Copies of this chain bind each other. A is one copy, B any other.
Amino acid sequence: MSLPHAILTALLEKPSSGLELTRRFDRSIGYFWSATHQQIYRELGKLEADGLIRALPSEQPARGQKKSYEVLHAGRAELARWTAASQDPKPHRDTLLLRLRAAAVVGTAGLEADLRRHLQLHERQLAEYQEIEQRDFPPGRDGTEDRLRHLVLRAGIDLETFWTQWLSRALTEFDGLPDGEPTRPA
């Protein structure tokens, strides 16, 4: 139940149309809350029906026509309520760790190449975050909003740093391992 609040946040930062939101969910907010355009359009409909947002009156709502939304007072209140509410952390789900555990039973054949690929992807993401940091958060002048957003970006940077380090370590471990099944060969 976080997608509507992600959208409210994005719309408060800047009123947008569905497609503009979709683009921003490919970067920025999408770095820690992804969504497809189908999800976004459906949720925009619900939020409008619930009176939390409204279409900007300047544009006519025809199919194929741009339609921009802004957050209403009730929407801002709901976002503030949700932000302050206590929430339990969701349990992790990580396919790569699962595959490593499976490899301990059925063998590591074929896994190393994908680990290398993931390492590259994480290195690329890390570089992207670091560019954003240099561009948007130069040292010295941080306002209140900036300090919070910088904190979020730091989480992204530190997470990608963790993954690159962990994957590098995993790959060096792999160099000393046999490829096949470690136990009970079929």
| Residues of A that sit less than 8 Å from B by CB | 2, 5-6, 8-9, 12-13, 29-34, 73, 76, 79-80, 82-87, 89-111, 113-114, 117-118, 121-122, 143-145, 147-149, 151-152, 154-156, 158-159, 162, 165-166, 169-170, 173, 177-178, 182-183, 186
Contact = CB atoms under 8 A, between A and B. Distances in A.
B92 A149 contact: no
Given A33-B98, A73-B186, A162-B159, A178 B103 contact: no
A8 B91 CA distance: 20
17 contacts: A2-B98, A9-B101, A9-B102, A32-B93, A33-B92, A34-B93, A79-B102, A79-B106, A80-B109, A83-B102, A84-B114, A86-B113, A104-B149, A145-B182, A148-B173, A148-B177, A155-B166
Contacts of A85: 110, 114
Contact of A143 (B30, B79, B182): B182
Copies held by the complex: 2
A104 B145 contact: yes
Given A95-B2, A95-B90, A169-B151, A80 B107 contact: yes
